[in-house]
């Protein structure tokens, strides 16, 4: 059943009367609602005029309810209790439901998953629902509580952080990487070696151009899905562009080496939150990602 709010008394007046009936006096209701005694009395009298019926009779400092007052008080108390219970349930649910986070597969595999035990050490029982995907998603429309994205600080890369709360996590270097066999075969000139091409590399192309690479001159080796990107690099199929922090294990092991580019390039990792209510774990989780990075 729909409610015609235009026919109802003000919520302030109803609340004042319910508190008066529950506390037994204007003074008690005033203390319960943290307002003045006069304000409560004024609201109750206004409610009586609106309804055209007496609700409370003052006897000294106490209030006696009329028959109509008893009936209205019982209905209001039960209704407000139902509302309070539902609000408490929703708040409890927000505090205990999983934190839904979207990030790139490499961020999930290289940074978050191997170190998640450290977050659980300080937030035992916290449930984290990771959704690794390469495309940037609409956090609000898809129901995510937080996202982790990369971007070039001086380039509009289409990451659409303008409508989101953006939190700086870390600035890192972007680097070209290739297997040692590629360097041996093609030399150190990045324009003479093959480069891996895959779906969803708009930001990567932006970074490559900003680093001084003439993208149109590069020999492209298409691998379709980027899921096999590192494996293709390790096997000497071609070079690619990566953030140094995600490639550090491969670089340290010698499986890949850096490819010199004309200019150094900086990549920003940022945490993004939808505007509106923030999940209780969102800020602690992004703080932990910043420290882990």
Query: Is beta strand 165-178 parallel, antiparallel or unpaired with respect to 257-259?
Result: antiparallel
* Ramachandran assignment for 236, one of left (phi > 0), alpha (psi -120 to 50 degrees), beta (any other): left
Confidence (pLDDT) at 157: 43
Q: What is the pLDDT of residue 138?
A: 85
What local confidence, expressed as pLDDT, does residue 33 receive? 92
Alpha-carbon distances of 127 from 59, 104, 123, 270, 281, rounded to whole Å: 56, 19, 9, 22, 9
CA distance 288 to 209: 32
Taking the mean position of all CA atoms in its chain, how far away is CA 228? 29
Q: Residue 159: its pLDDT value, please? A: 47
What is the Rg, in whole angstroms, of the alpha carbon atoms belonging to the chain? 31
pLDDT at 144: 92
Angle between helices 113-122 and 282-292 (to 10 degrees): 130
Q: Which domains does the chain have, with CATH numbers?
A: 5-95 (1.10.10.10), 99-292 (3.40.190.290)
pLDDT score, position 94: 58
Task: Indicate the helix (H) or strand (E) that contains 150.
Answer: strand 146-151
Quick check: 137 and 228 in contact, CB under 8 A?
no
What pLDDT sits at residue 96? 64
Nearest to 285 by CA among 132, 141, 130: 130
CA distance 233 to 171: 24
Helix (H) or strand (E) segment spanning residue 26: helix 26-33
DSSP 70-100: HHHHHHHHHHHHHHHHHHHHHHHHHHHSPEE
Looking at residue 153, its pLDDT comes to 63
Low-confidence stretches of the chain (pLDDT < 70) are 1, 92-96, 152-162
d(CA 169, CA 151): 11
pTM: 0.62
Percent of the chain's residues with pLDDT above 90: 56
Alpha helical stretches, state H, 108-258? 113-122, 139-142, 180-186, 202-210, 229-234, 244-253
Q: What is the pLDDT of residues 199-229, one digit of tens each?
A: 778 778 888 898 899 999 999 999 877 778 8
Residues 6 or more apart whose CB falls under 8 angstroms from that of 136 comprise 147, 149, 158, 159, 160
Bridge partners of residue 130, in order along the sequence: 101
So what's the pLDDT on residue 158?
Answer: 43
């Amino acid at each position: 059943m729909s409610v015609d709010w235009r026919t109802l008394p003000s919520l302030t007046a109803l609340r004042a009367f319910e508190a008066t009936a529950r506390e037994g006096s204007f003074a008690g209701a005033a203390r319960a609602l943290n307002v003045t005694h006069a304000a409560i009395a004024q609201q109750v009298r206004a409610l009586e005029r609106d309804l055209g019926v007496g609700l409370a009779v003052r006897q000294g400092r106490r209030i006696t309810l009329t028959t109509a007052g008893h009936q209205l008080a019982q209905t209001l108390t039960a209704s407000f209790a139902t509302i309070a219970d539902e609000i408490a349930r929703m708040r409890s649910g927000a505090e205990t439901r999983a934190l839904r986070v979207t990030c790139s597969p490499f961020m999930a595999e290289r940074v978050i998953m191997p170190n998640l035990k450290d977050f659980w050490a300080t937030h035992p029982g916290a449930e984290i629902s990771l959704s690794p995907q390469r495309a940037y998603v609409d956090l609000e429309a898809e129901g995510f509580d937080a996202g982790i994205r990369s971007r070039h600080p001086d380039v509009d890369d289409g990451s659409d952080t303008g409508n989101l709360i953006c939190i700086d996590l870390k600035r890192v270097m972007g680097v070209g990487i290739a297997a040692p066999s590629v360097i041996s075969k093609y030399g150190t000139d990045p324009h003479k070696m093959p480069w891996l091409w895959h779906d969803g590399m708009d930001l990567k192309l932006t970074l490559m151009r900003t680093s001084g690479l003439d993208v149109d001159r590069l020999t492209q080796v298409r691998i379709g899905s980027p899921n096999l990107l590192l494996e293709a690099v390790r096997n000497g199929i071609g070079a690619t562009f990566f953030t140094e922090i995600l490639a550090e294990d491969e670089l340290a092991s010698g499986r890949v080496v850096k490819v010199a580019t004309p200019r150094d390039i900086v990549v920003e990792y940022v945490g993004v939150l939808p505007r509106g209510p923030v999940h209780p774990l969102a800020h602690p989780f992004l703080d932990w990602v910043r420290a882990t990075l």
